[in-house]
Amino acid sequence: MNRPVSQPDLPCICARIRRTARRVSQIYDRHLEPYRLTIGQFGVLAQVRTGDAPSIGELAARMVMDPTTLTRTIRPLQQRGLVALAPDAADRRTRRLALTEAGLGALRQARPGWAAAQDEVRLALGEEASAALVTQLDGALSRLSL
């Protein structure tokens, strides 16, 4: 007889991760609101800043996001002139993302808000637990990668 892989008394891991992620996102969003950014938008700006002009698909894979969701996150940044999308020189079907000067300025301006959110979360969790959580999450993401 086959035993179930999952234990029925084990709480849903996904539900707990999602609730925790939403709570943490709320903290970051609150601190980034004065800069007219969400944590998702701040993350996109920070990733695009690397200067490698990723495509939407490349950036979505790097951020472990669906390309459609990423496009919705990018749209207001593009409308504000913080990121630019341009056709790839080698493949005109591919669009490449670049941070504009305004985007770099917005990222620099919002950095204190992001740092304040980091501090709030680290203070709430404690330094040791924060470091352990980062290690656990990085390990989990690595082990769960497709």
Contacts of 100 (CB under 8 A, 6+ apart): 81, 82, 83, 84
Tokens of 78: 């593009």
Specify the pLDDT at position 79.
Answer: 97
Average pLDDT, integer, range 3-32 = 88
Element at 82 (helix H, strand E) = none
Is 103:36 a contact under the CB 8 Å cutoff?
no
Specify the pLDDT at position 146.
Answer: 73
pLDDT one-digit tens code per residue, 99-137: 999 999 999 999 999 999 999 999 999 999 999 999 999
Confidence bin at 50 (pLDDT 50/70/90): confident
Is 55:96 a contact under the CB 8 Å cutoff?
yes
Specify the pLDDT at position 5.
Answer: 64
Write down the CATH number for the domain with range 13-144.
Answer: 1.10.10.10
List C-alpha distances in Å: 133 to 40, 99, 140, 144.
20, 31, 10, 16
Neighbours of 118 (CB within 10 A): 14
Specify the pLDDT at position 94.
Answer: 85
Which of 24-33, 51-60, 115-124 shows the lowest mean pLDDT across its residues?
A: 51-60
Strand, helix or coil for residue 89: coil
What ranges in the chain are assigned the alpha helix state H? 13-32, 39-48, 56-63, 67-79, 101-125, 127-144
Residue type, 133: L
Specify the pLDDT at position 125.
Answer: 97
